[in-house]
Amino acid sequence: MAIKALWYLSTADGQYPWMSEGFYPVDFQRYKKLAQTIDQGGFYGALVATWPNDPLTSASSVAGFTENMKFLVAEYAGLTPAKLLAEQALTFEKFHGSRLLFNHINGTPQRIGTYGVELTPETRYALGQNYWEEFQTHYNRGNKSLFPNTDFTIEPTTPNGIPLWGTGDSAAGIQHAGQVVNVYLLMIRELHRVKDQFSRAVAAAKDNGRTFNDLGALTSVTVRRNQAEAEKQFYQIFEKTGTELLKQKLDVSIKRKTSGKQSINDFKAPDAQRQEWVDYIRKGQLPPLESLRLEDNLFAGMSAWSSLDIFGFASSAAYLVGNPENIAAQVEKYHKEAGLSALIMSGWPLVEEAEYTSKLLLPLLKDIGE
């Protein structure tokens, strides 16, 4: 089975969206063009993530301009009544075909709390499991008209319900994923770490009498015709951002994660490589390209959702960087040795990098696993 290659469908776009001068204002025409680029470029689908815009509304707004791509829509368990979400899913499929997937997000108590929902880290997993069971029950029943004078029902079109994709890093999160999701996801990291986390997730699913349909990873990508060109393009992320802004963003992240107990000036990274990045930044220098290489063609970078990963856990902004053959060879390693079968990719700006990836990399990814 070929690698399922998805792209990132987001309103957070730009050459360097983490910089005010590198962020593109939200524009529907560009968003529509991005969806059409993904659809016409041969991607399996796109992740529609949680930004200030509502993901399901965003996906629905452009689905009619596409024909084949699937929409992996992020959804916080419990925020929308399960029956209402089922009605929305049935309606989406009635108009756009069986092209809807949900990315199940438990969310943190702090994030969910902004919607007036009170949860503890423990109760959110129980809520998630019950919520998606209720959702699938309502979806599989279809939605019957409430007006007796005209009798019709919107019937489900996806056998066994809408597939759920999702992640979980902690032991409890992995166990929950094994109970609930059909496709397990993680942020891409070094092969041995991906292999270990996939193994634990597969074991959790097996403990619950289940198997995953796919194992997937989120990664950014910079692909060019030759390796040197790709590496030069990738490193411009750091050159354009600059040391001072990078230092400011990392300082904010450190203070947030340590509740203000540490800053960039006294932070100690979990390993020597990440400490080297911190030391360079403290000296007012950018880490050189080779220092950012995690292994082979995998580099530590920056993305719209995460700055340079000096923590080594949770969110990652790692990039696959190189010519098509080198990147495909690395993906094939993940496939053969860790079982990876789905890849959610991004690159900035989203439209232009989707075009590079579609033209140069997708033909090779389609051969993996065949």
Distance CA 353, CA 363 (A): 15
Distance CA 63, CA 68 (A): 9
- Give the residue extent of every domain in the chain: 4-228+315-365, 229-314
Mean pLDDT score across all residues of the chain = 95
CA distances from 327 to 46, 49, 220, 316 (A): 20, 25, 12, 18
Q: pLDDT digit string (tens) for 97-151? A: 999 999 999 877 777 888 888 888 778 899 999 999 999 999 999 999 888 888 8
Predicted TM-score (pTM) of the model is 0.95
Burial class (CB in 10 A: 0-12, 13-18, 19+), 28: exposed
CB-CB contact of 96 with 63 (8 Å): yes
Mean pLDDT of 312-319: 86
Distance CA 248, CA 316 (A): 18
Best CA proximity match to 142, nearest among 93, 187, 176: 93
Best CA proximity match to 215, nearest among 175, 169, 167: 167
Mean pLDDT of 9-31: 95
More confident residue, 160 or 118: 160
Cα-Cα-Cα-Cα dihedral of 175, 176, 181, 186, to 10°?
Answer: -70
Picking from 99-108, 155-164, 267-276, which range would have the lowest pLDDT averaged per residue?
Answer: 99-108
Q: Kindly report the CA angle at 361 between 359 and 367, in degrees rounded to 5?
A: 115
Q: pLDDT above 90 covers what percent of the chain?
A: 88
CATH number for the region 4-228+315-365 comes to 3.20.20.30
Lookup: tokens for 366 = 């389609």
User: 23: which DSSP letter?
Assistant: P
Q: pLDDT digit string (tens) for 68-77? A: 999 999 999 9
Q: Is the peptide bond before 349 cis (omega within 30 degrees of 0)?
A: yes
